[in-house]
Amino acid sequence: MDDTFLSESKREASALLRGDTFGSIAEFDLHSIDLLNKYIKDKGSLKFIVSSKAFAYEVMFINGVKGTIFEDFMDLFFTNLNFALEDHKEDVLQYYVELDLNIHEALINYQDSAAIINVTNLENKRTIVKSGFTSLGDIIESSLYPQLELVYRVLTYSKGSSLYLNKNNFKKGKIVDELINSSEVIEAVLRQLLNGVALNHWRNISCHSSYKYNKTSDSIFCEFGTKNDKSVSLAYEEFFELIKSIDSIQILLKTCLELSSVELGVKKEIVSDDERYELTKESIMSQIGNALAILNYDVMSVEKILNQWKINIVDISSLGITKFREFGNELIPYFVCMYQVHGIVMELEVFDTKGRTFQRMSLGDISNKNLAK
């Protein structure tokens, strides 16, 4: 399970780079600064984001969506956030702090839903559709809705938004409707991208089981609206494109909110020892996978013997020992975290393209964060 998150995060992150390659961590850092300067104005926050590598995937996402409606959404969000901060900074920060745990749990819920999809091994199309809609509805309800609530609240404090000073009771479906009506860009993401059906309607279709797979036409018929007076049909393969679009919206929202949260210093305002702020093994393995994509190391295998885990990777770009050691320094925090939180001792071994090993990395003195080579 955990190695699936490692491999998938590496694969997805690599795809987002769209062929860009880096010969060193320093090159990736410069690329990150170039992309993030557009959104992060505080130099201290920018330095932290770039140096920590905890946001490597967000950087790659921004890289991958250049010139798309997702970039337009990010531009709109950060423009309105800056407007909101001009006159209502304390109110905006209060909302970020108030909703931080909800956002954190939303991201964990997304991981759980993704895990369920990954372990589902089904052959019957009707059952696959049922499983897919169940996961889709859960992702919208437990992951996207909490994040959209914070986006909505930011816009209500922005004089650049038609939602400025709107006092809503923040009902989930209503928020989506109002966001869609407030902006053509948001409407394109939350409705047009989703086969012309609004995100909240897809949630209702899923939760009310208002869909039916037709074996003869190999299609899915869905009903929605107040009295199911509207409908949409999808070819079977189009359903998986819909799920991919939902995933992309999840990553988009996470990128906007995670980056802005760092710049606002939200974590400084929060009780960090709350046990509900769970750092899962899946999260840590995903972060390692994202890091592997930076220098294009390929995942060969993951060996697990009790609490001893070893990741075997391939140096497909022939970067050699020196670059591997530099890269290893970026992984130390994740290895330490995996040990401190889950009691798992991590090791990394790198092979050349001919299958020959030439370097290992493991934790030595955890308290001093030294590498044992």
List of domains in the chain:
65-264 (no CATH), 281-372 (3.30.70)
- Say whether pLDDT at 104 is over 70: yes
Is residue 1 classed as helix, strand or coil in its secondary structure? coil
Quick one: which of 327, 296, 346 has its CA closest to 11?
296
Quick one: which of 128, 123, 146 has its CA closest to 203?
146
Per DSSP, the residues of 220-260 read: EEEEESTTS-EEEEEEHHHHHHHHHHHHHHHHHHHHHHHHH
pLDDT band per the 50, 70, 90 thresholds, residue 117: low
pLDDT band per the 50, 70, 90 thresholds, residue 370: very low
pLDDT band per the 50, 70, 90 thresholds, residue 2: low
- Average pLDDT over every residue of 332-341: 90
User: What pLDDT is recorded for position 105?
Assistant: 84
Parallel, antiparallel, or unpaired for β 298-305 and 230-235? unpaired
**What is the share, in percent, of the chain residues with pLDDT greater than 70?**
91
Helix extents (H) in the chain = 2-16, 25-36, 43-52, 56-64, 69-119, 125-139, 145-155, 172-182, 184-190, 199-207, 236-264, 281-294, 320-342
Per-chain mean pLDDT for the chain? 88
Distance CA 276, CA 167 (A): 29
Q: Tally Cβ neighbours within 10 Å of residue 178.
A: 19
pLDDT band per the 50, 70, 90 thresholds, residue 71: very high
CA-to-CA dists, residue 23 to 31, 171, 316, 344, angstroms: 12, 48, 12, 30
User: What pLDDT is recorded for position 112?
Assistant: 72
pLDDT band per the 50, 70, 90 thresholds, residue 372: very low
- Say whether pLDDT at 203 is over 90: yes
CA-to-CA dists, residue 331 to 290, 336, 338, angstroms: 11, 9, 11
- Average pLDDT over every residue of 120-148: 87
Q: What does the pLDDT look like over 25-62, one tens digit per residue?
A: 999 999 999 999 999 999 999 999 999 888 999 999 99
Backbone angles phi, psi at 224, to 5 degrees: -155, 175
The first and second tokens of residue 6, run together, are 């490692």
User: What pLDDT is recorded for position 4?
Assistant: 76
Distance CA 112, CA 142 (A): 11
Q: Whole-structure pTM over 0.85, yes or no?
A: yes
Which of 276 and 98 is assigned the larger pLDDT?
A: 98
User: What pLDDT is recorded for position 119?
Assistant: 42
